[in-house]
Chains A and B, each alone.
Chain A
C-alpha cells in the first residue's frame, strides 16, 4: 500500500533522515519507535506531504506522492503530535471544518460527525469550545478530526502524550477498533507497551536511519535469546549461588547475598536444579522471576539509550 524508498532530509547541516526504507501493507498497524531526534517526525512529515524529501520517494499504491500528493491527501488522516484545533471554536465546529476540508458536506458531514463523536466518546461536550476541554478530550477531538473522511491510511504521531489513563485506554481501544475495520495505521509512540499492544510490525529508528524492523518477537529474537532468572532467598545463599557457577547451561551467575541472578540461553531444567540445590543447602526460596528480553531491552541494546531519553 505504501512504500518508502531511500528517504532523506536535511535541515542545513543537520541530516535528520539519512535514507529510510519502510513498506506498509493494507490493514497493518506499523509502529515507529525511536528516541527524540531519531527522525520519526521528519519521516512522518514527509509521508504526510508536509515536507518534501531531499532524496528518495514515497509510493502510495504504486504512485509517487511527490508527483501527485493529492492522491494520498484525500485518503490520508493525520493525527499530529501537537493539538491542531481551533480553540475558540466548539468541538462540533472543529469537526465540521475538518470534515469540509476533506470535501464532506451537508447530511453526510453531519452523519460522520455523529459517528466520529460516538467513536471518540465526546458526543455530550461537542457544543463546548475546545479551549474548555481537558487535555484528554482535546486529544480525542484531535483524533476525531482525522477520522471524518474515513481515511484508508491513518498516521498517529504520539497521540497519547500527556493524557489521563482513562482517555489513553479509550484511544488505544479506538485504534484497535479502527484497525479491525480495515484501516491501515502508522503509529509512533514513546510508550513501548502501546506499541507492543497495537502494532503488527515495528520499525526502530535512530539517528535518521531504520536500525531494525520486524514483529515484536522477531526483534526480541534478533537481539538475544537469553533469559534472566532471579532468585531471592530468606538468608545469605552464596553457597547455593556458587554451586551454579560450574553448571554448563548457565552463562553467567551474579551473587548478591540473598539474591542470585542467572543468565541462560536454555532455561530447561534450571528451575528443578534451583529447587534441588536450595533444599540441599537448606535455604528457603522467597521468589523466582524469569525475565525475557522485551522491546525496551531490544531498544537499549540497539541504540545504547533508553526510549524516553
Chain B
C-alpha cells in the first residue's frame, strides 16, 4: 500500500490541478453569493380610493401595516399607468359610493392587473382579510355609538377614539398571544453560510469522484493490469487509492471552511474537530460512490459525461444549492434521503450554524459512513468481477 500511496503522491501534480480548480470555483461561487446578499423585498400594490370614507381610509391603514407589502395611493389613471409600466404588481380600485354600497351588499373592489401571477394572486386574500377586519371594527364601533348618549358627546371624536383603542389592542393587547421558543436558541437560516457549505461539498465531490476514477485511467493505461500481476495485493491497490483520494478531498473541504472563516469572515459556531469528523464521513462516502460509479463506465470520457449529471442532480436533491426547508415535494424530499449531500449539509449546518454538539449529528455521521461502506462494497465487488471477466 505504501507503493500506491507514493505513486499517488507523485501523481499529485496532476490531481492538485483539479483540486485547485475546484477550490477556486468554490471560492468564486461563495464570493458571488456573498456579494448578492439576501435583502427582504416588499411587494408594491397600488390603491385608488375614490370613496375616501372612514372605512376606506381605515382599509388603507390596515393594508399599509401588512408585513411584506407597500401600499401606494394613486388616482385611477396613474394606477393604470403604474401597472402597465410594471412599477407595481397590481392595484385595488375602490369606486365612489363604496361605503353606501356596503349596506346594500353590492359593494365591489376591482383589481387592476396586466395578468394574474403568483404575486398578485395574493391580492384577493389580502383585501378580503383586511376588509373583514375593518368592517368588523366598524360594526363594533357603530354598536357602541348607538348605545351611547350622543347628545352629550361628539360622535366622530368617540368613533376615532374607539378605532384608535381597537388598533392599539390589535397591535399590542391581543387577548391571546401565541409565541414559540426553541430550547436550543436556534439561529436563523443564513444564506451565506449555506452557500459556503453547499458549494464546498458540491465542488469537492468532483475532485473526489474524478480522483478515485483514476482507476479508470489506470485501466486505460494498462497500469492497473500490471499492478494486478505484481506482488501488490488488490486490497492494497483499492485502499491505497481510496486513502490518497480521501486525503485530497478532506484537505479541500476542510480548507474551504477555514478559508471561508478568514477570507469571507463567516462566523462558524460549534466545534471544528467535530466538523472534521463529518467531513471525513462525507469524503469517505463520496470516494466510495466514485469507486462504484467508475465500474459502470469503461473510460474516463464516459465518466466525464455522466458525473456532472449525477453530481449536480444529487447536489440539487441534497440541498447544496438551496435549503431543503423550501422543498415541499414529498418525492424530492424522499430522494434527498438517498444522497450523501443531504446528511452532510444537515450535520454541518446543525454544527456550524446552529451550534449543536456531536450527539445531535451522530445519526448523520453513521448514515454517511454506512452509505460509504455500501458503495465501497458494491464498488469492490464490481471491480473484482470485472477484473476476472
Contacts and interface: CB of A to CB of B under 8 A. Distances in A.
Interface string B237-281: 000000000000000000000000000000000000000000000
B20 to A, nearest CB: 16
Contact residues on B (Cβ < 8 Å of other chain), bracket: 20 to 34
Most chain A beta carbons < 10 A, residue from B2, B225, B389: B225
Nearest to B13: A88
B220 to A, nearest CB: 10
A49 B229 contact: yes
B96 interface: no
Nearest to B387: A50
A102 interface: yes
Contact of A103 (B7, B14, B231): B231
A97 B222 contact: no
A101 B11 contact: no
B32 to A, nearest CB: 33
Contacts of A103: 231
A182 interface: no
Interface string A53-96: 00000000000000000100110101010111111110001001
Contact of B229 (A48, A85, A93): A48
Contacts of A89: 10-11
Contacts of B10: 86, 89, 93, 96-97
Main secondary structure of the interface of A (DSSP, over half): loop
A50 B227 contact: no
B124 interface: no
Nearest to B3: A100
Contacts of B221: 83-87
Contacts of B2: 100
B228 interface: yes
Given A51-B388, A86-B11, A89-B11, A101 B222 contact: no
Contacts of A73: 229-231
Interface of A: 11, 48-52, 70, 73-74, 76, 78, 80, 82-89, 93, 96-98, 100-103, 145
Interface of B: 2-3, 6-7, 10-11, 13-14, 221-223, 225-232, 388-389
The 10 closest A-B pairs by CB, nearest first: A84-B222, A84-B226, A100-B3, A101-B230, A48-B229, A82-B222, A73-B231, A97-B7, A101-B3, A84-B223
18 contacts: A49-B229, A70-B231, A78-B229, A83-B221, A83-B222, A85-B223, A86-B10, A86-B11, A86-B223, A87-B221, A88-B11, A88-B14, A89-B10, A96-B10, A97-B10, A100-B3, A101-B3, A101-B231
